[in-house]
Amino acid sequence: MIKFINNPKEDKVMAGGGESKKAIYAALFGNLAIAISKLFAALFTGSTSMWAETYHSFSDTFNQVLLLVGVKISKKEANEKYPFGYGREQYFWSFVVAILIFGISGVLSLQHGIDYFLSDHETHEVENYIVNYVILAIAFVFEAYSLRVAFRIFRKRIEERGEKLTLPVLFTELKENKDLVLTTVIVEDTAALLGILIAVVALVLSDFTGNPAFDAIGSLLIGIVLMGFALFLARENRGMLVGEAISKRELKKIFDIISNISEVEKIKSIRTMQLGAEDVLIAIEVSLIENLSTITIDSVIDNIENKVKEAIPYASHSKIYVELGQENN
């Protein structure tokens, strides 16, 4: 026995809210300004690390556009062809972003560094270090602001659950967070700041020693960092595209709240699938105590659905399925 409530209004995917879009826009405009500045510095000074950072920033700018595309498409209403909506569009475009970070930013950064060691070293010379330092300082401010906007949203969600922001909680949230658009922005900005720091150290070493090899090594390290972050994002998005369940924290809330319903004898299974950042499919199989009337059984099923909705506020009634075990049929 499965109870299904069809409510077209609830079938609208809520994923990709205004907060996530705010983080994307902050990153988009910041990265565009930074990319143009870095390009100027790379052309003017010939720094390999600065070229790596230029590729990185232009790639990030394009990535933000793709994330906005994903957010927009994910809001389309469900239809006959896509009865559960378009929520996973976010995960597809976030996966594309991860591939671009790896394939464009990471590979090109590595290539520039490798080219130095395979070519005539005397042809590579960094000029006017001051320009690089100024541009990187400006870039650091922009990237830090963008990360601050995204991190503030991230922190707010943790604190709204009554948890304190600690390093273990932060890492757990990064892994279990289903709004991968926001996660992508945070990862990109963190990688960008780390890349800037590497570029600064590489340039300072080249400047003081007169050896441009440090600049090339900086490019190599930036490429490795970008690839590492890209693989993390790809792994997270792959899970969501395949059909990952809701977080363990939310699953426990559902289990606990149903267990406290007196008419429920046993929870046989809880199967969930994340359809979007704030869109989920929940299928529950329970066995009830004996000798309940049909009216009472219907009332219990309604109560289970309402309790699930209470535990997971963004869950839609039309995507909550309650099935009774064979002994209750």
Q: Take residue 109 and report the two structure tokens written for it.
A: 């950064």
Each residue's pLDDT tens digit, 154-164: 888 888 878 88
Dist CA 223 CA 34 (whole Å): 18
State residue 64's pLDDT score: 86
Highest mean pLDDT among 16-20, 117-121, 318-322: 318-322
Tell me how far CA of residue 260 lies from CA of 6, 158, 226, 255, 324, in angstroms.
27, 26, 47, 9, 17
CA quadruple 286, 289, 294, 296: dihedral sign? negative
pTM of the model: 0.77
State residue 181's pLDDT score: 84
In this prediction, residue 327 has a pLDDT band, given cuts at 50, 70 and 90, of: low
In this prediction, residue 295 has a pLDDT band, given cuts at 50, 70 and 90, of: very high
Each residue's pLDDT tens digit, 103-116: 778 888 888 788 87
Average pLDDT over residues 64-83: 88
Per-residue pLDDT for 7 more than 60? no
Tell me how far CA of residue 227 lies from CA of 96, 105, 198, 314, 316, in angstroms.
14, 8, 15, 34, 37
Q: What value does the mean pLDDT of the chain take?
A: 84
Per-residue pLDDT for 20 more than 60? yes
Each residue's pLDDT tens digit, 241-254: 998 999 888 999 99
In this prediction, residue 43 has a pLDDT band, given cuts at 50, 70 and 90, of: confident
Dist CA 137 CA 139 (whole Å): 5
Closest among 214, 212, 222, 217 to 124, alpha carbons compared = 212
Average pLDDT over residues 126-132: 79
Average pLDDT over residues 84-109: 86
If one compares 227 and 115, the residue with the highest pLDDT of the two is: 227
Which 3 state secondary structure label does DSSP give 285? Answer: strand
Q: Take residue 126 and report the two structure tokens written for it.
A: 């960094």
Domains in the chain with CATH codes: 8-242 (1.20.1510.10), 247-328 (3.30.70.1350)
State residue 47's pLDDT score: 82
